[in-house]
């Protein structure tokens, strides 16, 4: 029995719709030296957004890259925090500090898009900001800069 083009719908698969928008910040190969030799693992840093103005960032470690990403997403789902958006931007200027990383976030006019460094840009894109300016000072550490950005976005008063 040959399948014609009309019967082809039986074999079409659709991807399941994800409940979170996920963005991979980094995958790093981490080595720990023990008495038994080097132990190689992978660390994945993920940022997620749930569509209801809540954002989270977390890391996951595993022997496999796929497992590290799954762990990071599962742990980030437990740590969602609210962010505030006013017409695609932030309501006012704000500064935040996380460890050695310091970030300044400013509202921007329509059509400016996102002007920010690499880690801050990824967080702002996932959080669905459209017009925003950000400048980081101090640390060049990816995770600390991303956490400083989330801290700035969650510190707005109503």
Spatial distance between the Cα atoms of 72 and 95, rounded to a whole number of angstroms: 27
Q: Could you tell me how many helices (H) and strands (E) the chain has, helices first?
A: 3, 8
Name the CATH code of domain 21-81 (choices 3.90.1570.10, 3.40.50.300, 3.30.420.10, 3.30.160.20).
Answer: 3.30.160.20
Q: What is the pLDDT of residues 97-125, one digit of tens each?
A: 999 999 999 999 999 999 999 999 999 99
Q: Is residue 6 helix, strand or coil? A: helix
Beta-bridge partner residues of 106: 133
pLDDT of residue 4: 55
pLDDT of residue 19: 85
Would you say 24 and 45 are in contact if contact means Cβ atoms under 8 Å apart? Answer: yes
Spatial distance between the Cα atoms of 12 and 7, rounded to a whole number of angstroms: 10
Spatial distance between the Cα atoms of 23 and 65, rounded to a whole number of angstroms: 15
pLDDT of residue 57: 97
**Both structure tokens of 93:** 């200027």
**Which residues of the chain form CATH 3.30.160.20?**
21-81
Residue numbers in the chain where pLDDT is lower than 70: 1-11
What are the angstrom distances between the C-alpha of 20 and each of 23, 104, 152?
10, 27, 21
pLDDT of residue 13: 73
Topology of the domain covering 84-154: Ribosomal Protein S5; domain 2 (3.30.230)
């Amino acid at each position: 029995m040959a399948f014609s083009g009309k019967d082809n719908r039986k074999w079409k698969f659709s991807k399941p719709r994800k409940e979170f928008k996920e963005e991979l910040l980094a995958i790093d190969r981490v080595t720990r030296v023990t008495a038994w030799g080097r132990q190689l693992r992978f660390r994945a840093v993920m940022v997620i957004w749930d569509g209801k103005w809540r954002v989270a960032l977390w890391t996951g470690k595993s022997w496999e890259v796929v497992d590290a990403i799954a762990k990071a997403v599962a742990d980030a789902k437990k740590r969602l925090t609210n962010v505030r958006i006013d017409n695609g931007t932030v309501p006012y200027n704000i500064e935040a500090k996380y460890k050695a990383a310091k970030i300044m976030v400013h509202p921007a006019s329509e059509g400016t898009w996102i002007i920010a460094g690499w880690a801050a840009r990824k967080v702002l894109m996932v959080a669905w900001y459209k017009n925003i300016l950000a400048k980081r000072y101090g640390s060049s550490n990816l995770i600390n800069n991303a956490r400083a950005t989330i801290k700035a976005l969650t510190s707005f008063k109503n």
